[in-house]
Amino acid sequence: MAAGASSPPALELRGLAKTYRAGRRAALRGIDLRVGPGELVGLLGPNGAGKTTLTKIACGLVAPTAGSAHVAGAPAGTADARRATGYLAELFRFPEWLTADEVLRLHQRLARSAGGERERRERLAEVGLETSADLRVGAMSKGMQQRLGIAQALVGAPRVVLLDEPTSALDPVGRAVVRELLVALRERGVGVLLSSHLLGEVERVCDRVAIVVDGRVVADDAPRALTRPAGVELETDRGTRLVPDAGREDAPALVAAAVADGERVYGVRVRRSTLEDVYRDAVGDAGDRGVQRR
């Protein structure tokens, strides 16, 4: 991690609440969330949970009703906070007549970055578009445009990067590129808040996962800490069976008992619940509601 232990959090939300007067509905109900320097945090939740409202407050696009949001120690929305923030919205669009290089040049001006051509080349290379600098947006596939969106979020060396569904349009190769990039951001001390419905991707790359339901954080921990033992699976010549209450320490005895009973054991696997299981338990019926608020 590049940042020192005394560095302020890349992103810190305290008691964050947001109520929209039109319709009198609460999007956020007292969110506490912290992203440290060099930490990758996955933000999960069903449609309508408040994820997008949270992200927009963090980058200064929406004002909270109560609570506070700070980026690298600066209040969200201030000039210092904006300079320290990279953002990719879920629904974005670049002018089709611009080239990839021109898109990044525009965002360098917006971010007041002095990185010049070298920065633009590096950002495109990081997302696998190093040979596409002169390609116009209108000629790009949706996946290429998504990777270009990630590249623009990294212009200006932000301290925190907010990514809203950054891999939704990517094929497996594109997702692997993004995973490698996220690991590189961690090594550079950049905090990342990754909002996604792709639970497998979040589980593979994130240090922590925060699950938001109905405007509240209902779970916040490392993916491994959120899952639980799910039994021991034995594969023998009599078939495959699951011993649901067994754990890792029980596996040798189960194998020994099977062999003593005349079975040939081909494999043994200690099972754990997945992040998807944790998510389903946390969101309950909210995961099936057709709510459009995010």
Query: Taking the complete model, does pTM exceed 0.85, yes or no?
Result: no
Please indicate, yes or no, whether residues 267 and 173 belong to a single structural domain of this protein.
no
My answer on whether 235 and 204 are in the same domain is no
Given a cut of 80, whether residue 22 has pLDDT beyond it is no
In this prediction, residue 2 carries a pLDDT of 44
**Is 73 contained in some domain?**
yes
Any domain includes 112: yes
| 151 and 33 inside one domain | yes
Q: What is the dihedral angle through the alpha carbons of 201, 202, 203, 206, rounded to the nearest 10 degrees?
A: 130
Residues 148, 22 share a domain: yes
Q: Is residue 284 part of a domain?
A: no
Q: Count CB neighbours of 277 within 10 A.
A: 15
Q: What value does the mean pLDDT of the chain take? A: 88
- Classify 133 as helix, strand or coil: coil
State residue 276's pLDDT score. Answer: 87
Q: What is the pLDDT, as a whole number, of residue 217?
A: 93
Instruction: Using the CB atoms, write b or e for 193-232: b if 16+ within 10 Å.
Output: bbbbebbebbbebbebbbbbbbbbbbbbeebeebbeebbb
**What's the confidence (pLDDT) of residue 109?**
93
d(CA 290, CA 46): 9
* Whether residue 215 sits in one domain with residue 103: yes
Query: Which of 200, 222, 244 is the last residue in one of the domains?
Result: 222
Same domain membership, residue 186 and residue 108: yes
12 pLDDT above the threshold of 90: yes
Domain with 250 in it = 229-272
pLDDT for the residue numbered 23:
54
Do 238 and 196 share a domain, yes or no? Answer: no
Domain termination residue (choose one: 222, 244, 261)? 222
Domains of the chain: total: 2
